[in-house]
Structure 1
Amino acid sequence: MLVKLSVPAILVGVLSGLGLFLVEGTAHLLQLVIWRDFPGLFNLDPDSGWYVFAVLSLVGLAVGVVCTLAPGRGGPDSATVELLTPPLPLTAVPGLLLVSLLVLAGGVSLGPESPIIAINIAILVALLRRVWPSIDVKLVMLMTAAGTIGALFGTPVAAALVLTGVLAAADTGGALWDKLFLPLLAAGVGSLTMRMLAGPQFGPTDIPPLGVPHPSDFLTGAVVACTAALVILVGASAFRSLHAAFRRLRNPLLYTTLGGVILGGLGALGGPITLFSGGQQMADLIRHAEDHTTAQLLLIIAVKLAALLVAATAGFRGGRIFPAIFIGAAVGLVAQSLMPDIPLGLALACGILGAVLAESRDGWLALFIAVVVVGDVSILALLCLVILPVWLLVTGAPKMLVRTADNQESL
């Protein structure tokens, strides 16, 4: 059976990677128009505060128009969904795609993961229902999510770790490897497809390896990781209230436009480094960390956290993992600026570990992303110890998620 289903799994992997490439490629072209071509045509400074404010305000208005008029209203509210959700009707895909392009290109502090997974799942479930109607829809969803996650992070390992938790929670019996085989195949193909088309998501940062760990590294790393987790938890404590406050305006056109205006003000305050999902911006921040004082780094963290909260609760569509990675890395840079003896790789990995764990509540994903960003697998053993106090800290704490009847149906 697994051999027979390998063909659709490979197809799902290729199409998942291709879907991600097309969405991100289109968003990149639109980003160049907004932030390079248009200001260049009129001799405007795209890094100026007023230009950032104007762009994000207009993006908020445009998102509100789509969420008001488009079929499906631009897809589900990102504040109410996790990574894996039931398939959307195909009629909702164009609206969600358009909103996602506006968010990714316009500088909104949300990542691509949630909407792209939702778009790929909707399309591939509809496709395989016609081509292979005998395949269970949940299996198609798992393969598509795995293929997309593998493409997003450039390796199938990320998908395997995420789905291990999902399948363990489902507890349907049977061998775990049998359940993971097809999604992992799709993830591997999706990862290879994206790498061949566009390369990895995270740019190289040339971080020195940790080397032989010192006994004090555990305590230092735990402090950094818990601090990063606390930053995210502070945001999570205000998440539901902020979401409810925006929804008092009732009309998406009103609350996304207001959100865009607030994001514009935050972007003007924090500068271009605080815009967009945070992947490339994180790499830039690490490369030029010496150009920022501790106070400037703290301001960047505060602005990015506020921008994430506003974007996620004001009706914009996007994921929260990529901005959390940026925040965690910035916390690590603050730690190193205060205590220069901390190895850079340790500070960054622990900051990212704490922030991602607090946002996602997925220890496997947090460990994986921390190692991928610093590019040092030897740090994994230390991170497996550091994660323990962080997990105790975040367990039972508020999460950046608004619970509804619908999101109880997520995988």
Structure 2
Amino acid sequence: MVTDTPSSAPPPPVPETPLRVLLPQILPALVVGVAASLLFLGIELVAEEFQHVLWEILPDALGIGGFSSLWMIVMLTATGIAVGLVVWKVPGHAGADPATTDLAGAPIAPAVVPGLLLASVLALAGGVSLGPENPIIAANVALAYWLGRKAQPALPGALWVSLASAATIGALFGTPVAAALVISEALVHQPGGRGSLWDRLFAPLVAAGAGSMTASVLSDHTFDMSLPQVTDPGWSDLLAAMVVATLAALFGLLACYGFPHVHRFFKRMRHPMLMLPAGGLVLGLLGALGGHLTLFKGLEEVKELTSNIGGWSSGELARMAVVKLVALLVAASCGFVGGRVFPAVFIGAAFGLLAQALVPEIHPAVAVSSGVLGVLLATTRQGWVSLFVAAVISSSPAILAVLCLASLPAWLVVTGRPQLELDASGASLR
């Protein structure tokens, strides 16, 4: 007679519910969100104070115009020397070649962070045409990954990376929506992810919300350009947006095609104390040609540009767009630390205003937002971020559908083309 006997095997583990997985992530996400935002605001504050000294107090004391051609050439060359010294002598050499980095990447060693932030502050204050986004994200990711694994080793390392990235992007753009878009694009390239999309976005969104709210409370950092509102877009607006965005994308691609060649030219100098001062000198000459609005990261300058719609001639706008595009190309090629998004916004706004100056029937908000959309698509190759920034700049919900459709022909122009990023061998990524 055969009888059933109880099995000695342990019962299968009960899978954790999404709620039990997500709730413990809230506190780390909030801490990382606030801390990442504070580091970003601190770096911005230091850079702005140093900029005030370099471009206002010091030239006034010397009796020289702060934005005279001579001072721009001297300051940008001196900035190249200063950043070159950091890259040469400071431990970690300010990280990898900036031409090979983008908004997201593997965590760098914590020892590299001080030199990276110092090089970023010097470039921001000195007037280099690069933004703060890449070095700030890299620094926050490195610190969160290092400290997070020590504080809570049970949490996966990838979570700390996504929290720091989302928090910094939320602070940079003033809203967690931008972070959600960037992280969702990154998740597409991560095979084997478990859980629904919103489960995977939950903790990064908490961090991004904390980061953006901290930045909003403590600063007036915004992408709102106070452009005239588009209340009832029609077919003519859609046609104009498609044409401007596509032409702007083609314009932005010029920098992408030239990037490996300009980078190779500076790399032949072999030493940061030759590459960066030479790049600084070129940037100073470009600043003298394009005027003071073509200096610095570009966010405050684009607000000044768009506050005087109709006050710029087509020649002035064309000069500023070309000079800023070349300045971005040179700054990214010669070794300066910084991101491409902020200067690309200025380039796109100048290009859009140029289109509006040539064809006054185009609504200014349509022209500017479409120009920004096209240049960002070309230089970042991140569709959601490009669309989001263009929509935020217009501050008009009615234009969102127009921009969505305008992104389609512009994307056909840029997809598969060289990017404004190189691989380790110096070849363009596609």
Structures share fold, TM-score greater than 0.5:
yes
Which amino acid in 1 is paired with 2:220?
G
Distance 1:56 1:405 in 2: 28
2:84, 2:273 within 8 Å by CA — same for their partners in 1? yes
Match of 1:54 in 2: 74
- Identity within the alignment, %: 44
How many Å separate the matches in 2 of 1:91 and 1:165?
A: 29
- Map Cα deviations across residues 63-86 of structure 1 (whole Å, 9 max, x no partner): 111101111111222110111111
Q: 2:177 aligns to what?
A: 157
Give the letter aligned to residue 270 of structure 1: G
1:192-231 → structure 2 map (5 Å cutoff): 192-202=213-223, 204-231=224-251
Whether 2:23 is the aligned partner of 1:3: answer yes
Unaligned runs of 5+ in 2: 1-20
Q: Post-superposition shift, 1:406?
A: 12
TM-fit CA distance, 1:205: 3.0
- Structure number with higher helix proportion: 1
TM-score by length of 1: 0.97
Distance 1:205 1:359 in 2: 21
1:172 deviation in Å? 2.3
Query: How far apart are residue 267 of structure 1 and its match?
Result: 0.6
Is residue 355 of structure 1 aligned with residue 378 of structure 2?
Answer: no
Who is 1:79 aligned against? 99
List aligned pairs for 1:60-209, cutoff 5 A: 60-173=80-193, 174-202=195-223, 204-209=224-229
User: Is residue 395 from structure 1 mapped to residue 395 from structure 2 by the alignment?
Assistant: no
Q: Structure 1: which 5+ runs fail to align?
A: none
- SS of residue in 2 equivalent to 1:118: helix
Counterpart AA for 2:338: G
Q: Tell me if the contact between 2:137 and 2:164 (Cα under 8 Å) persists in the aligned partners.
A: yes
> What is the correspondence of 1:266-281 to structure 2 with a 5 Å cutoff?
266-281=286-301
| Deviation of the 1:289 alpha carbon | 3.4
Distance 2:25 2:33 in 1: 12
For the Cα contact (< 8 Å) 1:150–1:159, is it kept in 2?
yes
Structure 2 CA distance, aligned partners of 1:394 and 1:206?
29
Task: Check whether the contact 2:168–2:208 (CA below 8 A) recurs between aligned residues.
Answer: yes
2:103 is aligned with what amino acid? L
SS at match of 1:103: helix
Match of 1:243 among 255, 263, 270: 263
Q: Which amino acid letter does the alignment assign opposite residue 61 of structure 2? A: L
Structure 1 runs of 4+ aligned residues shifted over 3 Å read: 405-408
Query: Which whole-Å CA distance do the structure 1 matches of 2:380 and 2:205 have between them?
Result: 21
CA distance in 2 between partners of 1:93 and 1:225 (Å): 37
Note if contact 2:33-2:168 (Cα within 8 Å) is conserved in structure 1. Answer: yes
Secondary structure at the counterpart of residue 71 of structure 1: coil
Give the Å deviation of 1:191: 0.2
CA contact (8 A) 1:81 1:407 kept: no
> Which of 49, 59, 63 does residue 43 from structure 1 map onto?
63
Q: Which amino acid aligns with 2:412?
A: L
- Give per-residue Cα distances to partners, 1:239-282, cap 9 Å, x unaligned: 01111110011111101111001001001111100000110100
The structure that has the greater radius of gyration is 2
- Does the CA contact (< 8 Å) of 1:328 and 1:352 recur in 2? yes
Amino acid at match of 2:215: M
Deviations 1:20-48 (A, max 9, x none): 01010110110011011111222220010
